[in-house]
Structure 1
Amino acid sequence: MKDSFDRFDLDRMRNDPDNYIWGIFYFNPRDDRTILPKRNKLLGWTLNFAKTETYLFLILIFALGWLVSKI
């Protein structure tokens, strides 16, 4: 069963330094979001590296970049 979190809990998890590897890679298996705002929302978005979808997304981005460079 998945946890359901309200906006406050999601913001608290996003801002918790314990959910970051080396201070830059967000890694939280309890957070269902794959793409979420960075700690400072003005700086854009980050990926949740605890989710398989993140790695599939990165592979897709690199594959598209490689494909475009070959055209």
Structure 2
Amino acid sequence: MIPQKPTQEDYNNWHKDPNNWHLGMFYYNKEDARMFVPKKMKWAGFTVNFANTKAILITIAFLFFIYTLTQLK
């Protein structure tokens, strides 16, 4: 059986559900396949879906890249 793609209503409901926001700012939802999701305050940009392995790997790679740049002399 092919899983059905979530609707915009699904995305909105997941975003509003406080159980998907740890400490009020970390988004964690295994049902949501998106790597980056809008923050609670729309004007603030996007945040990482910490339930998505690819998003975590990209975030770690980005932080390592920034760290490496700051260590160059």
The interval holding the TM-score normalised by the smaller chain is 0.7 to 0.9
TM-score by length of 2: 0.84
Question: Is residue 2:50 matched to residue 1:49?
Answer: yes
Code of the residue aligned with 1:58 in structure 2: it is T
Asked which structure has the greater CA Rg, the reply is: 2
Identical counterparts, % of pairs:
30
Distance 1:31 1:48 in 2: 8
Question: Is residue 2:69 matched to residue 1:68?
Answer: yes
**1:36-68 deviations in whole A, cap 9, x for unaligned?**
111221111111001111221121111111211
Question: Is residue 2:32 matched to residue 1:6?
Answer: no
Q: Which runs of 4+ in 1 moved over 3 A?
A: none
Could you tell me whether the CA contact under 8 Å between 2:48 and 2:56 is conserved in 1?
Answer: no
CA RMSD after TM alignment: 1.4
Gaps in structure 2 of 5+ consecutive residues: none
TM-score by length of 1: 0.86
Distance 1:21 1:12 in 2: 16
Gaps in structure 1 of 5+ consecutive residues: none
Distance 1:59 1:42 in 2: 24
SS at match of 1:46: strand
